[in-house]
Amino acid sequence: MFVVIGATGIVGREALDLLLAAGHEVAAVTRDPGAALPGGVRIVHGDPRATGQGGLTALPNGVEAVLLSTRAVGGAAAEVLALAEARGARRVVVLSSATVEHPAGHRRFADEFRAVEGAVRDSGLRWTFLRCADFAANALAWAPQIRATGVVRGAHGAAVTSPIHQRDIAEVAVRALVDREGAAHAGRAHLLTGPRPLDQRDKVRLIGEAVGRDLSFQELDPEQVRRAMLAQGLPEDVPERLLGSLADYARTPGPATDTVEKLLGRPARTFAAWAAENAAAFTAPARS
């Protein structure tokens, strides 16, 4: 049995589908009792960040390997891994961040991922780290602006990353999960990025091509953006993390690797392909 912790996240959800399609038995951990998960998945209700009855005591026996989202477990990684090992787990694949190798933004955000990686190294389980770059899906945050005005208003338009499609991450994760021999994955930290560096204006342009509309990026002062994000009710750490990272990537582009292509035997999916798949999110519904 394979266990996905962080099953409702965009990578976890993709991984569930891939594991099921390959005929594997899968358990999905979620703290949301109403989570919509695919049929055939064994659902384990519990909060990976909690302890005792609120934690993962319902995790079944017969676990072979775990896909672990760093953001899902926080500081409880060691406890979660000890429980998984007691249920039979021998391998763990960790969804980590490229900032571990290429720091950007406030140091404490990279430290969160380093702390989980450290707990995994100390767990005794065979491990693989997936240090992921900027998710292409982060661009969905622009959807309301694009639908309403066709203009994305933000800071640091020159910030360069190599955005990665979540399905590529999930495919690498599943290969590492099912790799019993571990030749390509055991004890390795894979730095996963998309195939092409893009700044924010490039991404807006590619979304415009996907929806057949001329879109533009309007540069704003970072403090103005920060205040607007807080006014939307976002926690203070969200604009701090985002704007800090963008400021760093405007000075020094984020990493770009061909690791996805080497591991999967095909090129990584492009941002343009992601935009085409998600064009409906950026298109205003037709008026009746």
Is 55 found in the same domain as 84? yes
**CATH, residue 222:** 3.90.25.10
Cα–Cα distance list, 19 to 78, 118, 147 (Å): 25, 27, 35
Q: How confident is the model over 199-230, as pLDDT tens digits? A: 999 999 999 999 999 999 999 999 999 998 88
Same domain, 93 and 233: no
Q: Residue 21 domain-assigned?
A: yes
Main-chain phi, psi angles of 220, to 5 degrees: -120, 160
Question: What CATH number is associated with residue 70?
Answer: 3.40.50.720
Residue 21: CB atoms within 10 A of its CB come to 10
Percent above pLDDT 90 for the chain: 76
Same domain assignment for residues 148 and 104? no
Letter string b/e over residues 138-164, b meaning 16 or more CB atoms within 10 A of that residue's CB: ebeebbebbeeebebebbbbebbbbbb
Check residue 286 and give its pLDDT.
Answer: 53
Q: Which residue has the tokens 């057949």?
A: 212
How far apart CA 46 and CA 129 sit, in angstroms, is: 24
What is the value of pTM for the model shown? Answer: 0.94
Domain hosting 278: range is 137-160+195-254+270-282
The span from the CA of 107 to the CA of 1, in Å, is 36
